[in-house]
Structure 1
Amino acid sequence: MASELPEDLKPSNEESWSSGGTADILPRERALASFDVDKMSAALYGGADGVKRRRFILMPAASMVYPEKYEWTREEMMMHSIEDFIAIHKDFVEEGYRPERDEVGWMSEMATQTGPMMPHMGLFISTVMGQGSPQQVMAWLPRALNFQIIGCYSQTELSHGSNIRGLRTTATYDAETEEFVLSTPTLGSMKWWNSDIGCVATHAAVYAQLVIHGKEYGLHVFMVQVRDENHMPLPGVEVGDVGPKLGDQAIDTGYLRLKDVRVPREHLFAKRQHVEPDGTYVRHVKSKDPKAEQLAKRASYLTMMQARSGMASIAGGKLSIACTIAIRYSAVRHQGFSDAQEGQTFKAAENPVIDYQVQRYRLFKHLAIAYCMRASGNWMTSAISELSQAANATDDGDLDAKTQDLVNAMPEIHACSAGLKGYCCKIAFDSMEDLRKCCGGHGYLANSGIGLLAADFVWQVSAEGDWVVLLLQTGRYLMKARKDAMQGKPLVGLTACLEPLRRPDFVPASRRPREPSSVQAVMDPAYLLALFEFRTLATIVKVGDRLDACINKGLAFDKAWNQCAVSIKAAAEIHIQYFMLRNFLDVIRRETDENCVEVLQQLFCLFGLQNIVEGQGWAGILSADLVSLAESGIEQLLESIRPNAVALVDAFDIPDRVLNSTLGRKDGNVYEALYDAARNSSLNKKPVFEGYERVLRPHLDLDFLKLRGGVCDELNSKL
């Protein structure tokens, strides 16, 4: 629920000294909806049971409303976050609750605060569960779940991020003491950007290069205690916070330096391998199937893939919050006379800003992106969950048919998780920032909730892989898939669109969908999907041919790749957009409520058409007539979506306590909330500000001020 307004502010339908006169606006907007909001929420969250489950999970935080949080210091943010997180989760843990795949994402989306416990729960515990042996899980997991130890995920280094294989932290085995000696031997090898290591964590899951008797065994994960019972760093451990960031101040993002820190042999995460006392390295894969061996070797990257998948899903959730605030406020805010003729009284009716076409386009475009992101986030979360189960199956023997299929799909899932995380986080931040601008000057206030939402989110554009680097990873997979298709090898998933390349006489233009002749035809979801699929095919062919040409001229592959990298990145974005559109259409096809289907199709078409008008890679594919039809289609969609706008953000089912926004309140009482927040600002707690006597009073004309607004001598002499 929204924070309660004080008694001297009385929301109503009419403007007055104590009312902004907006209380009736959002109820009127909701009455315009052509669909049932609860059914739309069910479409977003896996049915009515999913909605109930989601509300149940979020219920313990219902009373945690903090309108004053925008005034907190960093340390206050951290303390509130830790206290509330433990209060919410500890009872659940003690009752044996284990979150399912969607539920962790819901918690992250709906968190009113960030803070150190989120990486502890989301990354550290996932690493323990995914990489620990049964004995290690038994020893570490209960303590982590009950907050008896606090952990961080320690992978990124000061000079290494996306190139995981190039990490420089070392773990050298000492057979005499049966210990691993961990070091960050150079300045650049110190762990950096490790969330919750700065002040809070007691332990770290440290990624390091395993070296035994001089031989390198690649990247492995080690449990390292970093602080003692008095919360002081252990010998050889240096930890600290990296300093204030652009946003997300509640998390003590930090650094970790290790100088010959010894950990027991038993602290190598040993689900899939261990080291014998004499230094013999032993893998645990029982199956002789090479695919099982391949999956087991890559299993250490699953936590990273899960993190990327989660970030892609959270991007849709955070963008949903921004859409909710901006659309509700745009319905409430009135600006510009409905009748602009001369002679109108200043009290004449004004237009809601949502009725200006440019504003409407900006709002609804981002709304369509949010819905589309949610569909792909759900797909990715499910795929990663199944892949994790498949990875666990490799420990038990030979692979069944389903697991073999998942192993075959792993490169695609990895490529999609990378590209989706990169693209969704980038576009979500860009959309949030544009939505903030849609809120005008009030959006600049911290208590609007929308500006700091973007600032707190922006780090995710770079975390767990910079968005450009991740898209290039997707591009590398696409270039390989192109080669596979040309060589007649099997293709899986979304790369099936490259099947036509099997034919040696293939010409891309032969797959071009027939151009529509009407606006209605261009808004056919099946046509739009076919058009996006064709663009993906044509772009990959064109970029792949350029790459081959560079190599044929004698360039080494890496130099040829770099020469084509801008086009390869663009091809990856184009592929991800097709991927998202297809996932969105799958959601629509599964929906049974006709009213919901109609509105979802409108959002689907707006996502597609705005990309035709604004997107890249369409040169040579679209005619001027088709672009004109797309523009006309957008105009129609803006009119069609308008009556459902408020209901569509209501369907996200985001409570006011999560929005924590003066502008996005469900009751629409925006001006009362803005005034109340201003009165409660910390600068207004004292009648005279603290620096007055020292920095201001010496310069003021006190005699002039004593007139208290009266006429001064200079004016009297001129009368």
Structure 2
Amino acid sequence: MGRVKLRCPQGQGPRGGTLAGRARTASRMALLETRKYSQGSALGAVNPDLASERQTPSFSVEKLTALLDGGEENTRIRRAVVEAIESDPVFSRENQYFQSQNEKYEAAVRKAVHLQKKMHEMGWTENGPEFKYIYRALSGEVAFLLHTIFMRSISVLGSDKQVAKWIPLAMQYQLIGSYAQTELGHGTYLQGLETTAVFDIATQEFILNTPQISAMKWWPGDMGRSATHTVVFAQLYIQGKCYGVHPFIVQIRSLWDHSLCPGITAGDIGPKMSFEHIDNGYLMLQNVRVSRENMLSKFCEVQPDGTYVRRGSQQINYLTMTAVRVALISHEAVIPLMKACTIAIRYSVVRRQSKLKPGEEEAKILDFQTQQEKLLPHLAAAYAFHFINNYLQDLFNRGYEEIQRENFDMLPELHAFSSGFKAIVTQYCASAVEVCLRACGGHGYSLLSGLPSLCTRILASCIYEGENTILFLQTARFLIKCFMAASAGHPVPPSVTYLAAGKPGKCPAKNKFDFLSPDIYTQAYRHAAVRLISSTAAKLQVLIQSGVKKHDAWNECTVQLVQAVKAHCHYITVKNFAETVERLEAKGGIQKIMKHLCDLFALHGIFSNAGVFLHDGHISGAQMDMATASYLDLLAVIRKDAVPLVDAFDFTDKTLNSALGSYDGQVYQRLYEWARKSPTNTQINPAYERYLKPLLHKKLSKL
């Protein structure tokens, strides 16, 4: 790591034991504290308050980083990618907080174009181990992200012939792709899409139309000004019969002069709350003809005589979105939460405010229990969600291998899990990042803190690639179906076999220490999930048996169905975290600190959702007091390692791009230096001559 650690003799504090002595020791630590991978400070020494937090971690930060990366070799590769990206001035993020929408868009395109050259220079490929770290190194601020989804759609849904034709063109950027699914009037509900593709047998073409304004494609990234081609999802019609939504490759701009093709109306949808660097666009199609070969046909095909052939499930068209949702969890929710925790926790040991004890200096705000309770559960959640993302990625990989063998049995489970976890993780992270922002006080609201952009980015993720409430309800259908099957003794997927197990009895905890047992709190989560799913299924049955139509009965249960899905996802996350901890080696302190984080994550959920666990008496009121006591005790335990735990995320200062969260903790100097770079401080005040001068001179003349 290139880091020198000063340790005090066992049982003693820093020399002298006084505040001055501790300050001198921390100052020496600050001078010795260095990083080999772009973490160094441009301002000099590390803030003594932050340096002191790193003196005696209970675990190896480097080993924890390697655990998160999936091995030391992955850490080495990731750092090499980060170093290569951050040492290249084209990828600089300096002054981005002062850029206009056009400037951000141009910078994103410049980075995307330069990235192709960089990858060639470095020998990186789309299939190589480095590729997955590029997006993280660029913090997602690069154009043509939908180009990847365009290629994935063709790779997953296209025939061998289509893959051979289009993928080489896309990989060489002889075209720029987008992905046009969402419409102005329809989003997650694909069956309701209004864009049509009518097969013309005479010409062997599909005629695509957006029949009304609500059918206009709206929001596709890279559509507004960049893309030349897109995958359009449209309702397929053959001889007047609708065969449902299918994907079609459509050229929208000339490869020669980038002008719009005949029948195409497209443009940028305008300013958004975030993603200013992306040209989200709109697309209208008026009698646009594409060849029969342009319908992606690995699983569905229209033959020359108009015969429709399907291989596999209709749900196969959701596979691209399933893959995107799994990837989204990490890139657009978990990593931003990790960044927010890093910024807020580092700032919370630098910022001093008020006094804990009379006569002492102002305290680090992280020493206040309320600040710990704001931040540390979200730190634990960042680790929990990192591990659940690994679980989902493994599940998807196994499912995709089966689909490649034309076994579609795992599709419903993949769709349900990607939907439910995308919804719960983004919803949780959106709330958590906002808490991190508010925990930094006024400075958190400055764009220079890096937190507002993280906050708006995660808020957006609650909507795109599926609005969260709808996704919860899609998962609910899967869970209810599985519960009914399990109740009837039929087999269900391994991930939901717990629905068939017998109901547990009362919680056996006798004291607060019992709530540090994974068996006890995991059982409590399982009980809550089974209770909510079974009670909602029972309500559905009662309504239907009483004569209420199925769709009306479903609508009357949707609030409870969403609760049930959240309980299911929470249970799986806690269970997976506990099992991950169990598999860790005991040496090096990693398992111990991960156990503390797992306990905190689980008990925070019980503390925050007490009614769910108290509802039927599985946990009693007295036991809830025990759980609360254990939860609060853990805050003080984890607080000691809070800074090393965020250091293990291994974000460079350039990646964080935060005046509050830098590795050296020189918060106030950096805020001032960055603020001085604002163009408004060097430009002539445009309001002075026109408004301020006449106003002030008018007052002066009266004086």
Q: Counterpart in 2 of 1:98?
A: 126
Counterpart in the other structure of 2:565: 572
Quote the Cα distance in structure 1 between the aligned partners of 2:109 and 2:418.
30
Q: State the 1:678 CA deviation.
A: 1.1
Find 1:34's aligned residue among 58, 64, 79: 58
**Cα displacement (A) at 1:703:** 8.9
- CA deviations over 1:98-150 (Å, ceiling 9, x no partner): 347x97664444433434322222x1121121122222222221222222211
Between the aligned partners of 2:667 and 2:281, the Cα distance in structure 1 is 38
Residue 146 of structure 1 pairs with residue 147 of structure 2: no
User: Are the structure 2 counterparts of residues 600 and 89 from structure 1 closer, same or farther at C-alpha, using a change threshold of 3 Å?
Assistant: farther
Identity, % of aligned positions? 34
Map 1:183-222; keep pairs closer than 5 Å. 183-222=209-248
Q: Which residue of 2 aligns with 1:604?
A: 598
Mapped partners of 1:380, 1:530: distance in 2 = 22
1:150-189 → structure 2 map (5 Å cutoff): 150-189=176-215
Q: Distance in 1 between matches of 2:578 and 2:476?
A: 24
Mapped to 1, the partners of 2:411 and 2:201 lie a distance apart of 36
Give the deviation of 1:593 after TM superposition: 4.3
1:591 aligned to 584, 587, 590, which one?
A: 584
Give SS of 1:652's match: coil
- The DSSP-based 3-state class of the residue aligned with 1:208 is strand
Moved over 6 A (4+): 18-22, 702-705
Residue 371 of structure 1, CA deviation: 0.7
Counterpart Cα distance in 2 of 1:175 and 1:703 = 80
2:93 to 66, 76, 94: 66
Question: 3-state DSSP class of the match of 1:181?
Answer: strand
Using the alignment, how far apart are the partners of 1:151 and 1:639 within structure 2? 51
**Count of aligned pairs between the two proteins:** 656
Match of 2:513 in 1: 520
Task: Name the structure 2 match of 1:697.
Answer: 693
Please give the alpha-carbon distance, in whole angstroms, between the structure 1 residues aligned to 2:499 and 2:432: 31
One-letter code aligned to 1:305: T
Q: Report the AA paired with residue 188 of structure 1.
A: S
3-state secondary structure, aligned to 1:337: coil
Following superposition, the deviation at residue 607 of structure 1 comes to 0.8
Q: In the alignment, what sits opposite 2:653?
A: 656
Give deviations 1:232-266, integer Å, cap 9, x for gaps.
11111011111111111111111110010011122
Q: Return closer, same or farther for 1:20/1:48 CA change in 2, 3 Å cut-off.
A: closer
Deviates more, 1:41-50 or 1:604-613: 41-50
Q: Distance in 2 between matches of 1:217 and 1:640?
A: 59
Counterpart residue number, 2:607: 613
SS in 1 for 2:422: helix
Contact 2:46 2:663 in 1 (8 A): no
Could you tell me which amino acid in structure 2 is paired with residue 617 of structure 1? V
In structure 1, list runs of 5 or more residues that go unmatched: 1-11, 286-292, 342-347, 395-403, 502-507, 706-711, 714-719
Q: Tell whether the 8 Å contact from 1:248 to 1:457 is kept in structure 2 after alignment.
A: no
| Pairs within 5 Å for 1:611-650 | 611-615=605-609, 617-618=612-613, 619-620=615-616, 621-650=618-647
1:619-675 Cα shifts (integer Å, max 9, x gaps) = 223211111111111121111101110111111111111110000001111111101
- Summarize deviations over 1:414-455 as a string: whole Å, max 9, x none: 211110001111111111111000111001111110111111
Where does residue 420 of structure 1 map in the other structure?
Answer: 421
Structure 1 position 310, deviation (Å): 1.3
- How far residue 500 of structure 1 moved from its aligned partner, in angstroms, is 3.2
User: Residues 367 and 162 from structure 1, CA distance in 2 versus in 1: closer, same or farther, beyond 3 angstroms?
Assistant: same
Distance 1:165 1:58 in 2: 42
Give the whole-Å Cα distance in 2 for the aligned partners of 1:196 and 1:443.
31
- Alpha-carbon separation, structure 2, partners of 1:532 and 1:78: 45
Aligned-partner Cα distance in 1 for 2:511–2:417? 34
Equivalent position of 1:457 in the other structure? 458
Partners of 1:96 and 1:440 in 2: how far apart?
42
TM-score under structure 1 length normalisation: 0.87
Single out whichever of 180-189 and 492-501 deviates more from structure 2. 492-501
Cα distance between partner residues in 2 of 1:110 and 1:558: 47
CA deviations on 1:147-191 (whole Å, 9 max, x unpaired) are 221111111111111111221111111121111111111111111
Distance 1:93 1:187, change over 3 A: farther
Report the CA distance between 1:225 and its aligned residue.
Answer: 0.6
The residue aligned with 1:378 is: 390
> Which residue number in structure 1 is paired with residue 667 of structure 2?
670
Opposite residue 560 of structure 1, the aligned amino acid is A
Work out whether residues 77 and 115 of structure 1, in 8 Å CA contact, stay in contact via their aligned partners in 2: no
Closer, same or farther in 2 for the Cα pair 1:115/1:91, shift >3 Å? closer
Partners of 1:585 and 1:45 lie apart in 2 by 19
Q: Distance in 1 between matches of 2:699 and 2:294?
A: 75
- How far apart, in 2, do the equivalents of 1:186 and 1:578 lie? 44
Q: What is the CA–CA distance in structure 1 between the aligned matches of 2:488 and 2:131, rounded to whole Å?
A: 42
Letter in 1 for 2:175: I
Match of 1:298 in 2: 315
Deviation per CA, 1:184-210, whole angstroms, max 9, x where unpaired?
111111111111101111111111111
1:679 matched residue in structure 2: 676
Query: What is residue 33 of structure 2 aligned with on the other side?
Result: none
In structure 2, do the counterparts of structure 1 residues 313 and 105 end up closer, same or farther at CA, with 3 Å as the change threshold? farther
- CA spacing shift, 1:263–1:381, aligned 2, 3 Å: same
Shift of the alpha carbon at 1:377? Answer: 0.9
Deviates more, 1:55-64 or 1:514-523: 55-64
What is the distance in 2 between the residues matched to 1:613 and 1:671? 36
Give the aligned residue type for 1:298. Answer: Q
Larger relative contact order (Cα-Cα within 8 Å, sequence gap ≥ 6)? 1
SS of 2:686's equivalent? coil
Q: 1:388 aligns with which of 388, 400, 403?
A: 400
What is the RMSD of the two structures over their aligned residues, measured on CA atoms? 2.4
Q: 2:349 aligns with which of 319, 331, 335?
A: 331
Which moves more between the two structures, 79-88 or 150-159? 79-88
> Quick one: distance in 2 between partners of 1:613 and 1:515?
18
Query: Alpha-carbon deviation of 1:335?
Result: 0.9
* Corresponding letter in the other structure for 2:325: R
Q: Determine if the alignment matches structure 1 residue 359 to structure 2 residue 354.
A: no
Give 1:5's aligned residue. Answer: none
Aligned partners of 2:395, 2:196: CA distance in 1, in Å? 32
In structure 2, give the amino acid aligned to 1:433.
Answer: E
Structure 1 match to 2:527: 534
Measured in 2, the distance between the counterparts of 1:569 and 1:420 equals: 12
Q: 1: distance between equivalents of 2:403 and 2:409? A: 12
Contact 1:37–1:651, Cα closer than 8 Å, also in 2: yes
- 1:84 equivalent in alignment to 2:111: yes
Separation of aligned partners in 2, 1:477 and 1:272: 23
Deviation at 1:590, TM superposition (A): 2.3
Does residue 23 in structure 1 map to residue 47 in structure 2? yes
SS in structure 2 of the partner of residue 700 of structure 1: helix
Q: Which moved more, 1:61-70 or 1:247-256?
A: 61-70
- Map 1:225-240 to 2 at 5 A: 225-228=251-254, 229-240=256-267
- 1:4-19 mapped onto 2 (5 Å cutoff): none
Q: Which residue of 2 aligns with 1:289?
A: none
Q: Which amino acid aligns with 2:542?
A: A
Matching of residue 75 in structure 1 with residue 102 in structure 2: yes
Matching residue's letter, 2:602: G
> Where does residue 472 of structure 1 map in the other structure?
473
Return the offset for 1:79. 1.4
**Matched residue, 1:252:** 279
TM-score (norm 2): 0.89
The answer on whether the counterparts of 1:588 and 1:597 sit within 8 Å (CA) in structure 2 is: yes
Whichever residue aligns with residue 58 of structure 1, its letter is: V
Q: Is the CA contact 1:173–1:180 (under 8 Å) kept in the aligned structure 2?
A: yes
- Residue 551 of structure 1 and its aligned partner are, at CA, apart by 1.2
